[in-house]
Every structure is written in C-alpha cells, then in structure tokens.
C-alpha cells in the first residue's frame, strides 16, 4: 500500500497561504489524491485539523474514499465557538508583539496531562510545540485565522459518509476533547473508536491502525 504524507498549506515546506481553513485543506487533499493516485480508492486520515480536512475531502468524493482514520479530532460546533476568543487573543498578540510574545503566553497555559506522564509523551509534545513556533509570524497568524474560521462539516453531511472509519482519541486534552470523538462515532454509520487514557495507550495507536487497514475489503 503506497503511503503519502504531506505538509498542509501554510505548514512545513508547503507554500504560505492566507486561506488555511479546514475545508480548503480538504480540497487540497482531494487534488493531491487525483494527482498522485488517480482513479484509486484511498484511505484518508490525519490528526486534529488533518482529521477535519480528511472529512471535508471525503465529502467531496465519497465514492473514492475507502476508509478514514480520524485521530484526535478538534473542538467542534458549540464547544468550538467557546475557543474562538482564545484564538483571536493569540492572533492579536502574535500580530502586535510577535511570535516571542505569543510563545511566552502559550507556555503559561497548562499542557494536556496525558503528555506529561512519560519522557516519550513530553518529547512528542515538544516536537509539535517547536514546529508551531518555527512557522514564522505570517504562517502562524494565517493558521490561527484558519482555525478561527473553521469547524467540522455539518452533522447532516457527516452522516452521509458510509465508509469504515477508525476514530482515535485521548482524554484530558481540552482542544481535542473526547466529546468530539464520541460525537463523530455517533454520526458516522461505520465508525469504531479507540480511546487512550494514558501514554501507553497512545503507543498502541499504530497497531490499531494496522488492524483497521488489514480488516478493509
């Protein structure tokens, strides 16, 4: 099975973009699919915004998506609206005072407890932390604007996705709450889930993904 891993728009080595909404990222994912694996059914997946982009991509052409792997889905709907003011504050700080000030403010906030249990968990969190603040001010602010303007697809649309779905989630992360994973499992007709309560459970996720992929027709 060929595996394609890529940097989303505005991230990593991809071009900078002012339109970093999850829906736009979903369209990018569909374009990449048609360019690299034309005519072949694919399994789409990602974490956080990547999981949202995968849902949007699947809605664009569900007949071309064999399955989905949705990992640590972000806040959504009413819960997400409560977080928007926090993203707006971070955006104002980064625009007005720069990334150094934004990083200092972010460092004062509590980290999800599941990352703090082990050296491996702390190292994993630090990789994402460094990458976020290595984006540069323009990309960082564009990503925040995208987060402010984004949400998961409407529940009525998600219900139409009938392919097999594996949902991976963990506890104690306010920005990727278990409630989002549970809601998706309720909406998606063929969803199954695995929930981590500790870092040792998180390390089982690759095995769950292999089992899921091997179970596909």
**What's the confidence (pLDDT) of residue 110?**
77
Domain boundaries, the chain: 1-210
Give me the architecture of the 1-210 domain, per CATH: 3-Layer(aba) Sandwich (3.40)
Question: What would the mean pLDDT of 95-106 be, rounded to a whole number?
Answer: 93
Specify the pTM. 0.94
Question: What would the mean pLDDT of 184-194 be, rounded to a whole number?
Answer: 98
Q: Pick the residue with more confidence: 185 or 110?
A: 185
Percent of the chain clearing pLDDT 70 (strictly above): 100
**What's the confidence (pLDDT) of residue 196?**
98
Q: Give the model confidence (pLDDT) of 121-166 as tens digits.
A: 999 999 988 888 888 999 999 999 999 999 999 999 999 999 999 9
* Burial tier of 108 (Cβ tally within 10 Å: 0-12, 13-18, 19+): exposed
Q: Pick the residue with more confidence: 100 or 12?
A: 100
Report whether pLDDT(8) > 90.
no
**Residue ranges in the chain assigned as alpha helix (H):** 22-36, 49-60, 77-97, 99-107, 119-133, 137-148, 155-158, 178-187, 199-202, 205-215
Percent of the chain clearing pLDDT 90 (strictly above): 81
* Burial tier of 209 (Cβ tally within 10 Å: 0-12, 13-18, 19+): middle
> What mean pLDDT is reported for the chain?
94
Q: Give the model confidence (pLDDT) of 23-62 as tens digits.
A: 999 999 999 999 999 989 999 999 999 999 999 999 999 9
> Which of 150, 158, 184, 156 has its CA nearest to residue 169?
184
SS3 169: strand
Q: What single string gives the DSSP state of each residue in 5-37?
A: --PPTTSTTSPP-S---HHHHHHHHHHHHHHHS
Report whether pLDDT(17) > 80.
no
């Amino acid at each position: 099975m060929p595996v394609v891993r890529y940097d989303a728009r505005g991230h990593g080595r991809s071009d900078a973009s002012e339109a970093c909404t999850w829906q736009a990222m979903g369209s990018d994912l569909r374009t990449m699919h048609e360019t690299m694996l034309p005519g072949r059914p694919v399994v789409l997946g990602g974490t956080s915004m990547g999981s949202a982009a995968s849902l949007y991509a699947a809605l664009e052409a569900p007949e071309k998506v064999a399955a989905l792997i949705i990992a640590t889905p972000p806040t959504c709907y009413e819960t997400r609206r409560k977080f928007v003011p926090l993203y707006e504050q971070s955006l104002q700080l980064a625009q007005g005072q720069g990334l150094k000030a934004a990083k200092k403010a972010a460092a004062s906030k509590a980290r999800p407890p599941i990352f703090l249990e082990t050296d491996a968990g702390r190292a994993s969190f630090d990789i994402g932390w460094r990458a976020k603040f290595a984006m540069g001010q323009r990309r960082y602010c564009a990503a925040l604007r995208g987060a402010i303007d984004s949400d998961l697809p409407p529940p009525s649309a998600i219900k139409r996705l009938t392919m097999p779905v594996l949902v991976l989630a963990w506890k104690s992360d306010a920005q990727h709450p278990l409630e989002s994973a549970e809601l998706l499992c309720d909406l998606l007709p063929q969803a199954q889930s695995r929930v981590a309560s500790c870092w040792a459970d998180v390390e089982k996720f690759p095995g769950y993904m292999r089992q899921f992929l091997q179970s596909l027709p």
